[in-house]
Structure 1
Amino acid sequence: MTSPDPLHLPPLTMRWYSRPDSSAAPVVVTGAFDVLHVGHVRFLSDVRGRHSPLIVGVEDDTRVRGWKGPTRPVNPAEERAEMLAALRCVDGVFVISGPAEVADWDSYADLLRPLGMAALAFTTGDPYTEEKRRGAEALGADAWVLPLTEGRSTSAALNRLARSL
């Protein structure tokens, strides 16, 4: 099976769930944020403590399912966006849509460019670290690598839950 040609796939799109009040250059974080846990909260709070505003991009259900399998996401994108928007540390949330195969940083750069972002934040060990660094550089933004809360991930939480049933 050959990989789809990204030149023939539709581009990524953004739909605002909640827009930030500030017009200042934001720090942007993207991810699935499927089952909100303390690792997410610590990461987002740390980012917000370093810069304001913080805007979070939530990957839509089709994209998460394509990356993580048919049982994910557990929660639909609208609910994940609502949970994130309710956090004090988050100033705005948008949902990212497009084919799961479109995950290159040229596509993300095209999506994020209108935000005029100051930085792109992600955690240590992110499998897309180098791509995110290149994407931030292409956007004239800083790349912030923050520590991961060990043992706290959506997959770890779902595994703990499955073992307890």
Structure 2
Amino acid sequence: MAVGGQRLTATWAGPRPEGRPVVVTGVFDVLHIGHVRFLRDAAERGFPVVVGVESDDRVRAWKGPGRPVNPAAERAEVLCALRSVAGAFVISGPPGVAGWRDYADLLAPLEPVALGYTAGDPHTEAKRLGAEAMGAQSWEFGVTEAHSTSAMLEAITSLG
């Protein structure tokens, strides 16, 4: 729920794409094959894919002081460079503003056809509720096992 009346905001990394999109949200800190496959699979459904990238402050509050590795604006720019992504925006707001209604309020103006997420996403139920509140579908995509940013960063730091 909104904290003290504060809301989530979106800052587009480029022009907002036309049409009703599939919206996905997340950190997308260190791009890996799991991200690429997820976004490609979403795009193959025939709708523009737009990605909401969580701001640096939000990620730091949730994942600790060493994250994110890459700034939000750069993460959004990298995502926009992918063929499967029609646009990206940075989600800002207090870390405690993270309920499904907060996201539904932020995303509703996009009139999404669907919210996409990966199997096993800890926020699956919230994403389903948000999609339903916006009259959108919820689409679950397969996860690429053994590929996560956290696992990659752990492997990299263990080399040193």
**Common topology (TM > 0.5):** yes
Give the Cα separation in 2 of the matches to 1:64 and 1:123. 19
Q: Is the 8 A contact 1:27 1:51 kept in 2?
A: no
Q: Does residue 123 of structure 1 match 2:123?
A: no
- In 1: Cα distance, 2:33 partner to 2:77 partner: 17
CA distance in 2, matches of 1:127, 1:74: 22
Which residue matches 1:133?
128
- How far did residue 19 of structure 1 move? 2.5
Aligned residues of 2:54 and 2:91 also touching (Cα < 8 A): yes
Secondary structure of 1:121 counterpart: strand
- Distance in 2 of aligned mates of 1:115 and 1:126: 22
CA RMSD of aligned residues (A): 1.2
Per the TM alignment, residue 160 of structure 1 is displaced from its structure 2 partner at its CA by 1.0
Q: Give 1:85-124 correspondences, 5 Å limit.
A: 85-124=80-119
CA distance in 2, matches of 1:39, 1:33: 10
Give the unaligned 5+ runs of structure 2.
none
Residue type of the alignment partner of 2:117:
F
**Percent of aligned positions with the same letter in both sequences?**
57
Say which of 12, 15, 29 aligns to 1:16: 12
Give me the whole-angstrom Cα distance separating, in 2, the residues matched to 1:82 and 1:57. 12
**TM superposition score normalised by structure 2:** 0.96
Secondary structure, counterpart of 2:58 in structure 1: helix
- The 3 A distance-change label for structure 1 pair 9 and 18 is same
Contact preservation (8 Å) 2:3, 2:96: no
Q: For the Cα contact (< 8 Å) 1:9–1:102, is it kept in 2?
A: no
Alpha-carbon contact 1:20-1:53 (below 8 Å) kept:
no
25, 28, 47: which is aligned to 1:30?
25
**What amino acid does structure 1 have at the position aligned with 2:110?**
L
* Inter-partner Cα distance in structure 1 for 2:149 and 2:3: 32
Measure how far apart 1:164 and its partner are: 1.5
The answer as to whether partners of 2:3 and 2:97 remain within 8 angstroms in 1 is no
Runs of 4+ in 1 over 6 A off after TM superposition: none
Structure 1 window deviating more from structure 2 (126-135 vs 8-17): it is 8-17
Distance 1:85 1:48 in 2: 13
Any conservation in 2 of the 1:29–1:120 contact (CA below 8 Å)? yes
Distance across 2 between alignment mates of 1:143 and 1:27: 9
Tell me the number of residue pairs that the alignment of Structure 1 and Structure 2 aligns.
160
1:159 corresponds to 2:119: no
Structure 1 residue 52: Cα displacement = 1.8
Contact 2:2 2:102 in 1 (8 A): no
Amino acid at match of 1:12: L
* Structure-1-length-normalised TM-score: 0.93
| Contact residue 39 and residue 85 of structure 2 kept, 8 A | yes
